[in-house]
Structure 1
Amino acid sequence: MYDLTVVGAGPYGLSIASHAAAAGLTTRVLGRPMAAWRDHMPQGMFLKSEPWSSNLSDPAGLHSLDAYCAARDLRPSHGNPLAIGTFTEYGLWFAERAAPPVEDLTVTRVVPEPAGFRVETAEGEHFRTRTVAVAVGVLPFIHLPDALRGLTADRCSHSSSHQDLSRFSGQQVAVVGAGQAALETAALLAEQGAHPRLIARRNQLNWNSPPQPLRRSLLRSCRDPHSGLGTGWPSWVWSEAPGLVRHLPGSTRVRIAATALGPAGAWWLRERFERQVPVESAQELLSAIDTGAGVRLTLRTANGRTDSGTVRTVEADHVIAATGFRPGLGRLAMLDEQLRRSLVTVGPSSSPELTAGFESSYPGLFFAGLLAAPSFGPSMRFVYGATFTAGRLVRGVRRRLTSAGPVPAEPARAPEALSR
């Protein structure tokens, strides 16, 4: 029986595995390394975060992005965006050197057993493990607006479905959304010869300001501090004090996770976007119909009015929904259904309530990444949160492994787990 099985091999899964191996835990890591970054982001994209805040985490700090780049004569710097391809290669380099070997297996079932869990894979393997860390990234939580769900894949796709946007050259493409994914996808479409049009509910798009210099006067630094998620005191709290966020009321944490650091475009993208992409702002998407020749979108001005003068249609060959991800336990079909339903959730959300060690209300079951955002705040939506998570989660696993008594044989609500 293994001490820990990590499900997922993105920045969070690899960081957790690195800390677990250093702690002497017998660990398996299952998943395709850096899958979301390798397979689900268009070529030509850049990281929105600064290079210095985009490290995976190993206990000794030897496998940083700087270390990877230095060995290749690359010079990432503050204020200069890093290509996602470079970051992906860094993640694969980290996986080879700082973590146990990653097994490219797909977990299909996690079932409680008297002393832990049984894990089953699509490749036919099954084994037992004392603890499980679910670090599946964002892909299980793709969100598609209701109005688009009746369209077939050749008419509508999520922004995470594309590596190569050149297939849309010459086509009219409606991009739905107002965040970085929507804005950068639309700009890349235009640069690949497509004719994109952005459709957003917001009255106006938000753009981040260029980053301030790292070296500033003490007064300026105190007024507007740097953090892994940007400048300013709110960003500093979300990025540097997730443990404090966890002590807020559940409903408050859910609201913060959903609204803090909301949709905005990177400063370096603005000129590229604005010179190439027309914007339909303040528009509510009412319906989408496949006309045979394309898609007809019905829009209404998003001001609460319902008179016919505010409703109109837009035609497109294809729709790309850059509408983000919505975490929820119900999307994790691999978890035993009874186990899933037994978990205590945060306030009105469907995300698990977690201890300071990232353990759920079912002993031995841990969560990292997007599902942890309603417990620890918005930093869990970003690579930067992996450093805060990895060491604390592994310490939580070690406490569970050394605690008296076996994990219960049947899932049960266990609010007492929350007070540990």
Structure 2
Amino acid sequence: MGAGPYGLSVAAHALEAGLDARVFGRPMQSWEWHMPRGMLLKSEPDASHLGDPDRRYGLDAFRRYSYGEPVPVETFVAYGKWFRAQTVKDALDESTVTSVGTEGGLFTVSLSSGACVLARTVVLALGFLPFAHRPDALAELPSEVSSHSSDHHDLSAFAGKHVAVVGAGQSALETATLLVEAGAKPRIVARTRELAWNDTPNDRRSVISRALAPRSGLGSGWPSYVWSELPGSVRYLPKAARRRIVRTTLGPAGSWWLKERFDGAVPVTLGVRLEGADHRGAVRLHLTNGRGNVQTLETEHVIAATGYQVDVGKIDILDQNLRRGIRSAGPTPRLSRTFETPMPGLYVVGLAAAATFGPAMRFVHGCDFAARRVTRGLVNQVRKSA
């Protein structure tokens, strides 16, 4: 379920393994319609490959980019669709999955077309959209004046308007920059006292520098290397350690190539906490600083660029029994080494698997690892029931 990077990668591996696999969803839909036009990928080109068994259809096979050269989201979408044409082909059904239940030891998958498919196994590759996080302080605002960054593709609708963008990560900083370039009047509102920016990539480092801080799909340094290249090892860490790793690895920061466009173009209100908001003609954000002083910021619209928080309860296509069955002690799913949930035959990949396999699952870079592990589990499932 899902035809984004993870869903297509799992399907490519499963089909190559000889499994009777079907993919449901429009290819790259979230990336095409829920990312702002003109966005550039934060991940390096060599960390933006989808996964196929023989590694023949990476991004560099579609278009080659040099190290440090940002990839436009439009190019990445076109690459994903090309990858699908090379690997998944006729196994894709663009129908939307409306519900998943169980019947007689099989999964029942209901589609927007009205059809119902019976499946021995199901892989949830739902991406990030179901888990968009909006601060509680904005809960009372109507949707016409409050939204999440993932709600927008064409920012030109905000031309001439004052827009508050809540957040200090790449999504917030790039959204604000693109708003300026679309003719809007944005302002960043964030708790941090100072914005962070990633270093400019350097591909000519000394041998000693490379040894002390090896480069990986999640950046430079040994911790990033381990989380990036050995995500299977993360699963064996204590739950508290895994939670901390996911929360702190690659914290809020803007890409180096964005800073020049942002500085001097976007005003900022930093070191404040959003306590509440109301809508009386204009949107009023109620903020407090570190000294407890209260201030009110008026704007016409507020965009929460506040990331994503996984909660199994938000996977509303699953029936209640399945949701209850895959939930662990907290809101994230408990997964085996092959990404299988406690409900036999039901697998979860992508962002929803980050609590088990670490921060690589938040990025495209984790696609290949997840696809290989899941396919191993799917093949074993078939052998058991044969």
Within 5 Å, which residues of 2 pair with 1:280-319?
280-292=269-281, 294-301=282-289, 303=290, 305-306=291-292, 310-319=293-302
1:336 match: 319
1:239 match: 228
Cα separation, 2, equivalents of 1:342 and 1:361: 6
Cα separation, 1, equivalents of 2:245 and 2:334: 15
Cα separation, 2, equivalents of 1:216 and 1:274: 28
1:107 match: 97
1:391 match: 372
User: Is the CA contact (8 Å cut-off) linking 2:312 and 2:327 kept in structure 1?
Assistant: no
Cα separation, 1, equivalents of 2:305 and 2:70: 21
1:32 match: 26
Residue 312 of structure 1 and its aligned partner are, at CA, apart by 0.6
* Counterpart AA for 1:77: S
SS at structure 1 position matched to 2:107: strand
In structure 2, the gaps of 5 or more residues are: none
Cα separation, 2, equivalents of 1:258 and 1:349: 15
Residue 46 of structure 1 and its aligned partner are, at CA, apart by 0.1
For normalisation by structure 1, the TM-score amounts to 0.89
Provide, for residues 249-284 of structure 1, a one-character-per-residue CA deviation record: whole Å limited to 9, x for no partner.
Answer: 122212222222111110111111112011111111
Provide, for residues 329-382 of structure 1, a one-character-per-residue CA deviation record: whole Å limited to 9, x for no partner.
Answer: 10001111012112252xx53111111111111110000001100000000000
User: Is the CA contact (8 Å cut-off) linking 2:326 and 2:342 kept in structure 1?
Assistant: yes
Percentage identity across paired residues of the two chains: 50
SS at structure 1 position matched to 2:237: coil
- Does 2:309 correspond to 1:321? no
User: Is the CA contact (8 Å cut-off) linking 1:254 and 1:349 kept in structure 2?
Assistant: no
> Equivalent of 1:376, from 357, 376, 384?
357
User: Is the CA contact (8 Å cut-off) linking 2:217 and 2:229 kept in structure 1?
Assistant: yes
Provide, for residues 171-209 of structure 1, a one-character-per-residue CA deviation record: whole Å limited to 9, x for no partner.
Answer: 111000111000000001111111110000112111111
* Counterpart AA for 2:354: A
RMSD of equivalent CA atoms:
1.3
User: Is the CA contact (8 Å cut-off) linking 1:242 and 1:376 kept in structure 2?
Assistant: yes
> Equivalent of 1:190, from 180, 186, 209?
180
User: Is the CA contact (8 Å cut-off) linking 1:28 and 1:100 kept in structure 2?
Assistant: no
Residue 107 of structure 1 and its aligned partner are, at CA, apart by 1.0
2:268 match: 279
Within 5 Å, which residues of 2 pair with 1:133-212?
133-212=123-202
SS at structure 2 position matched to 1:384: helix
Question: Which stretch of the first structure deviates more once superposed, 12-21 or 76-85?
Answer: 76-85
Cα separation, 2, equivalents of 1:235 and 1:262: 12
SS at structure 2 position matched to 1:27: coil
Cα separation, 1, equivalents of 2:107 and 2:20: 15
Provide, for residues 264-305 of structure 1, a one-character-per-residue CA deviation record: whole Å limited to 9, x for no partner.
Answer: 11011111111201111111111111112x21111101x2x4
SS at structure 2 position matched to 1:174: strand
User: Is the CA contact (8 Å cut-off) linking 1:47 and 1:81 kept in structure 2?
Assistant: yes
Residue 114 of structure 1 and its aligned partner are, at CA, apart by 3.1
1:364 match: 345
Cα separation, 2, equivalents of 1:358 and 1:169: 44
Change (3 A) 1:318 1:344: closer
2:43 match: 49
User: Is the CA contact (8 Å cut-off) linking 1:245 and 1:376 kept in structure 2?
Assistant: yes
Change (3 A) 1:402 1:256: same
2:117 match: 127
In structure 1, the gaps of 5 or more residues are: 1-6, 70-74, 406-420
Provide, for residues 304-323 of structure 1, a one-character-per-residue CA deviation record: whole Å limited to 9, x for no partner.
Answer: x44xxx10101101111101
> Equivalent of 1:9, from 3, 20, 24?
3
User: Is the CA contact (8 Å cut-off) linking 1:199 and 1:281 kept in structure 2?
Assistant: yes
Cα separation, 2, equivalents of 1:113 and 1:260: 41
Cα separation, 2, equivalents of 1:193 and 1:98: 41
The number of residues matched between the two structures is 385
- Does 2:16 correspond to 1:22? yes
Cα separation, 2, equivalents of 1:33 and 1:235: 30
* Counterpart AA for 1:353: R
User: Is the CA contact (8 Å cut-off) linking 1:257 and 1:377 kept in structure 2?
Assistant: yes
